[in-house]
Structure 1
Amino acid sequence: MGLSADDRRARILEVVRDLGTIRVVDLASRIGLSAVTVRRDVAALSDSGLLHRSHGSVSSVAAGQAAASIPGRERTIGMLVPTLGSYFDEVIAGARAAAAQAGARLVLGVAAYESADDRAQTEQLLDSKVDGLLLSPNWRPDTSEDDCWIRDLPVPTVLVERRAGIGDAAAELDSVSSDHRHGVLLALRHLASLGHRSVLLAARDDTWTAQQVRAGYADAVLQLGLAPQPVIGIRRYGVDPDELAGQIYDAAAEGVRAVLVHNDQDAIQLPPPLRARGLDVPKDIALISYDDVFAALAAPALTAVAPPKRAVGEAALNLLLRRLDSGSSAIPVHHLELLPSLKVRASCGGEERAASPREESPTGKRQR
């Protein structure tokens, strides 16, 4: 006959008080119960104030209070990103500035897009004795990696520019991301206001952001009543600008004269091969890029969707510090979405202007 709930929870309290802090999966193994049962019991004990629960670990009340009460203790935050340079440089800069303001230290790890090193790099950060983690894992649609290890990490964790789907293993983690679907809507709405009734999308499909951009395109086309077009796929290692220009030329022959390209690096290469085919930007083709890292440096300067990259890093760091300071279960899980803005420049043929507060909200934030 199995243990009663009271017996199970008494045993959990006994083990946690002896060890101080233990991962939930290790606790379940030590007691000989399923992880699901132990998580449920730990949640009940935490709600009763008998335990401190963190993402993937649990500690005694005394141990949790002692750690929180050390005066002047410097927090060390580990941050895992998929690349250095371009987009994530600004995300890192935001997190770094927020950490400096709070007297915390940021430790960086990199797991490249084409690698499968998320877990190994995260474990290396944990070996640095970090107090919490900011993670941007390489979630790709062509993999079925088990993300339970993210849920069971022994320190509080915030997903950055990532958001787990409903029912996913990491869905109960805090997250801060740009609302890329809204960003695509801004781009297509602007093009529609210039009279375009159909817009091409050229985008990758192997990153979380690219998937959000593609989904946003489908939503925006439907919402704005535009004629949908097949998405032009961009390979992981970059576009062949001449090939992409040829596909745009073919679409232009059918009357499509507006293009959204994810991302800047690919969009900035397009005007010369388009011009070689007799298509001028913006006279013949309206072009918008996504990311706004290099867009203003193009010739002509590209209208671009600008996710609030720096603000995402800052908000993620501050949310993690709040989680550390208040205890894992003292505040509800936050899923924050910050709204991108649209920077209108010469490549659409419209007058360059600042973002309209009605259309774009750089500091806009959704909490779900």
Structure 2
Amino acid sequence: MKAVFFEEFGDLSKMSVVGRPRPTAGAKDLIVEMKGAGINPVDWKIRAGYLKDAWPMELPIITGWDVSGTVVEVGSEVTNFKVGDEVYSYNRPAFDNPEYAATEDPIGRDGCCAEYVKVAEWKAAHKPKSINHSEAGGIPLAGLTAYQGVFDQGLMKEGQSLLVLGASGGVGSFAVQFAKDAGIKVTGSCSHRNVDMVEELGAEVVDYTKGDVDAQVKESHPDGFDVVYDCVGGDQTAAGIRALKKGGIIVSIANTDVPELAKEAGDDKVGKSFLVAVSGEQLKKIASMVDSNKVKVAHVTTFPLDESIKAFEALETNRARGKIVITN
């Protein structure tokens, strides 16, 4: 089968589309014919070697963790899926999950930018019926990151207030929509050119290109927010901490120092940084929200598998609109 592959860490020149053995299913696995594989910044950061000492991985590596496709083979103990089912998955090795860590392969064995992908049954969900594989293939990592940030880390409940920093991005736009569906009052920060988009998602807007985010937040929410979801980092992390109520929570996917920064700010503020967990059950919930028109998916830019290097070039240079998805 064709796969996007690299044998040593380095720049984009180390990556190629090559022939690799087709995976075989274990007793609790699916083999999925890839139809859409979303790519994310973490994919090129792994190839560049930035994370080689942080997570278990073995060269050579087939890249990619997001997949949507059709089941073509099921293991003997699979009960929830059958051949022909359309599924999607966040297929990262679950080395951080005590229940499954001992049986997980290192990063690279089951990458999703390939014609066929092995997916453990518990990591998969039936894809949303109302969208195509290209759109579904762009959901898993961003969707789960948003969902877990709002509910598992932010512990948000109906009636609370949320400020999303970077509300027009892949994670931020999902976070806005998940929170609105749960009855949470949402404000999103974005640039002027994305104001209309964020308002259409149902959020009030803070336009950071107008300057003085603190003043805008203070005017619209003088008592502060229960939770801030920081998808941006940099100076905005500090602004997010200042925007919290006493005892509020800031969740950041862009600043690993946020626990210490929030503690230093006082007022019992709490900072959390997290690694998104693999969860087929949460993908099932997200699929239901998409099919109920409660959540809109991002615009997708597609590249065929044979042109995957161009897709990664576009990802690394920010030259594509919306989510980049490789198709087969």
Same fold (TM over 0.5): no
Higher strand share: 2
- Bigger Cα Rg: 1
Higher helix share: 1
The two structures have a TM-score, normalised by structure 2, of 0.39
Higher relative contact order (CA 8 A, sep 6+): 2
